[in-house]
Amino acid sequence: MIQVNDLKPGTSFAYENEIFSVLDIMHNKTAMRGMIIKVKVKNLRNGVIKEMTFTGGDKVEAVHLDKKSHQYLYSDGDDLVFMDNETYEQISIPKERLQWEINFLVENQDVEITSYQKEIIGISLPVKVELVVKHTDPGVRGDTATKATKEAVLETGYIVKVPLFINEGEKLIIRTDTGEYDSRA
């Protein structure tokens, strides 16, 4: 058990049968009453971000999340199959749990899978990934006075806005947190 006064951004804890990660914390102490602690948290099971209020001295259960390197192998219908890089065991995660991450997954890519007591919480992608442009319209010459962009379909099917000079077959670096074009590879 840890006191809520000791929570910091990045700390994980269990409360009311859910697992949360602290995003932000604010302490409010007035002369008339005890300390109020507002904690902005993300539910690690369903991704919902909410604010929780505690009083000074409240305790929550500390949790230890296991992070292990895995390699993405393939999509198997409704599941994505990953292989543990140490034991070579394969695990399947339902696609609906990884709706955002699937846009940036390519075969043989290394990811970090987070789990809590053998329950898979989610995966962590690298900050930037390299993806190939499968389809884009040719750029219009001379339209460079503004930061003109066009849509490009990447090898995963994800559609991203790119500068006009990008062509089919080029490798791009895409940010996994925002889904935006970063640069050419």
CA atoms within 13 A on the CB side of 138: 3
Summarised one tens digit per residue, pLDDT across range 66-90 is 888 899 988 888 888 999 888 888 8
Q: What is the pLDDT of residues 111-145, one digit of tens each?
A: 898 888 888 888 888 888 888 999 888 866 665 56
Q: Do 131 and 174 touch, CB atoms closer than 8 A? A: yes
Task: Please report which helix (H) or strand (E) contains residue 161, including its range.
Answer: strand 159-163
Which residues pair with residue 151 across a beta bridge? 161
- What per-residue confidence (pLDDT) applies to 141? 64
Residues 6+ apart with CB under 8 A from 160: 151, 152, 154, 172, 174, 179, 180, 181
Amino acid occupying residue 127: V
pLDDT of residue 144: 59
Measured between alpha carbons, how far is 181 from 66 in angstroms, rounded to an integer?
Answer: 31
Backbone angles phi, psi at 179, to 5 degrees: 80, 15
Residue 137 CA to residue 123 CA, distance in Å, equals: 33
Q: Is residue 32 over pLDDT 80?
A: no
List domains and CATH numbers for the chain: 2-62 (2.30.30.30), 66-124 (2.40.50.140), 128-184 (2.40.50.140)
